[in-house]
Amino acid sequence: MPVTDSKIQFAETLFDLHPAFIPTQALYLDLEGRQNGSEEIVSMYWPVLPGAVRFSWIKRSQTSDIGVQDMALHVQSIKATDAKWIVVYSGGQELPDERSRVVDLLGQDPFPKSEWINLLYVVQQCREMRRSITEHRNVWYGADRIQVRNSLEALEWEFGIERPINIRSHSNCYRDLDGGHGEMQVLATAQQSISGSATEEEEQSLREYCEADVRSMFEIAYTAEKLLFTQSERQGRRRVR
């Protein structure tokens, strides 16, 4: 992956905002739902674990929403109760809307001692990355053909992460698809999964989509750390913690 000024500036912005942040020791989290306390899926990526089990998710049942006990038991099961950082990609500036959605869903913050990091806010504070996303125009929201939004998928492109079409959002259009849409209608597919009516292919695509959201946040953050710090410096940062 070529190193560009935009990636360097993004990395500098991230670690200026969060100097102690260690990407390999953070929990990456994403919600799929309609907000207002109604969420279909909570996705997590915990890089402390071996690669095959780093991704996990909680889906609501047909009869009940995801509750605080569901979250607590799940976080305990993946041994992430002491995660120092919770990383999201969310509106809401430095204090992310994603945290508010979690609180609305559970009635409390399940990570009261953790620092929340919003990678969208990092993009918003990084002029060079915003400029690069706009100039490259690799992905844009389908209903708005003029303004390119600073979406997670747009940031992924800047870091060389390219999703298969089946896990690209149906709401977005893509330059390499000649302006065509992605195939994933995540909320509809999530509801089919919860009701048991999803096909095996739809269930697999849903899982891959949710994993891509949280895994790519880790890959971006980890790449940013490697752009700024040598291997020995990264090892030193981990020992300081």
Identify the CA nearest to 29 among candidates 217, 222, 221, 199. Answer: 217
What is the percent of the chain with per-residue pLDDT over 90, rounded to a whole number?
77
With b for 16 or more beta-carbon neighbours within 10 A and e for fewer, the 142-166 pattern comes to beeeeebebbbbbbbbbbebebeee
The runs of H, that is alpha helices, within 125-230 are 127-136, 152-158, 186-195, 200-228
- From 3.30.70, 3.30.420, 1.10.1740, 1.10.3470, which CATH number describes the 5-232 domain? 3.30.420
Q: How far apart are CA 130 and CA 141, in angstroms?
A: 15
Residue 182 in this model has a pLDDT that exceeds 60: yes
Q: Tens digit of pLDDT for each residue in 131-166?
A: 999 999 999 887 766 678 899 999 999 999 999 999
The 10s digit of each residue's pLDDT in 106-132 is 999 999 999 999 999 999 999 999 999
pLDDT score of 240: 66
Q: What is the pLDDT of residue 241?
A: 57
pLDDT of residue 34: 77
The sheet carrying 26-35 orders its strands as 55-59, 38-45, 26-35, 85-88, 115-118
User: Model's pTM, two decimal places?
Assistant: 0.94
Q: Which backbone phi and psi does 185 adopt, to 5 degrees?
A: -105, 90
Q: Please, where are the H alpha helices in 33-151?
A: 68-77, 97-106, 119-124, 127-136
Instruction: With a cut of 70, say whether residue 35 has pLDDT above it.
Output: no
Locate the domains of the chain by residue range: 5-232
The residue behind tokens 């980890």 is: 222
What is the Cα–Cα distance from 65 to 39, expressed in whole angstroms? 7
Q: How far apart are CA 76 and CA 71, in angstroms?
A: 8
- Is residue 37 pLDDT above 90, yes or no? no
**Model pLDDT, residue 52:** 87
* Per-residue pLDDT reduced to its tens digit, 190-199: 999 999 999 9
Residues 97, 53: Cα–Cα separation, whole Å: 27
